[in-house]
């Protein structure tokens, strides 16, 4: 049952990513893929928060699977982020590629840590 919910939540996460990315993309005026960055940073923040809640026994671990592995795992994406970095390199926007790869990973780890820290307050 949990696995079925996990799969469904993964689908919802992917759909959410598609919509959020499309909305941001329609408004963004930069070559930097801000949609994917925003999605990955916000998803990491939420997963940090959820991990803290599960670790502190505020929520059941099956919620951690459905919402963490399913919803947030499906919402955030690594393949698109890597692909977009390569496209930036190919169009000779080297600095954007560096910001997109290193900036995203730094922001995501900090966001996850911040989310986790919120549950310790």
Partner 1 sequence: MALARSENMEPESLPGMDSLPVDSDVDTPGPRHRSIHLHPGFVVLVMLGGCFGALARYGLSITLPVPGGWPLPTLLINVCGAFALGALLEGLSRRGPDLGWSRFVRLLVGTGFMGAFTTYSTLAVDAMHLFDADRPVAALTYVALSIVGGVAAALFGIWVGAKYHRFVAARNRRVLAITGKESK
33 touches partner 1 (CB under 8 A): no
- Indicate the residue among 32 and 76 with the shorter CB distance to partner 1: 76
70 touches partner 1 (CB under 8 A): yes
The torsion of the CA quartet 102, 76, 110, 106, rounded to 10 degrees, works out to 0
What distance in Å separates the CA atoms of residue 59 and residue 40, rounded to the nearest whole number? Answer: 23
> Three-state DSSP class for 60?
coil
Segment holding 42, helix H or strand E? helix 34-55
112 touches partner 1 (CB under 8 A): yes
Segment holding 71, helix H or strand E? none
The size of the interface with partner 1 (CB under 8 A), counted in residues, is: 54
19 touches partner 1 (CB under 8 A): yes
> Three-state DSSP class for 27?
helix
Binding site listing for Na(+): 73, 76
Binding site for partner 1 (CB under 8 A): 3, 6-15, 17-19, 21-23, 26, 40, 43-44, 46-48, 51, 65, 68-70, 72-83, 85-86, 89, 101-102, 104-105, 108-109, 111-113, 116
């Amino acid at each position: 049952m949990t696995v079925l919910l996990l799969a469904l939540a993964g689908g919802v996460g992917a759909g959410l990513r598609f919509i959020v990315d499309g909305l941001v993309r329609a408004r963004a005026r930069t070559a930097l893929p801000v949609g994917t960055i925003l999605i990955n940073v916000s998803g990491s923040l939420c997963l940090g928060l959820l991990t803290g809640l599960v670790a502190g026994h505020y929520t059941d671990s099956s919620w951690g699977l459905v919402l963490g592995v399913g919803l947030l795992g499906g919402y955030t994406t690594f393949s698109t982020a890597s692909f977009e970095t390569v496209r930036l390199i190919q169009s000779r926007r080297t600095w954007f590629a560096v910001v997109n790869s290193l900036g995203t990973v730094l922001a995501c780890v900090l966001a996850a840590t911040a989310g986790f820290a919120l549950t310790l307050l």
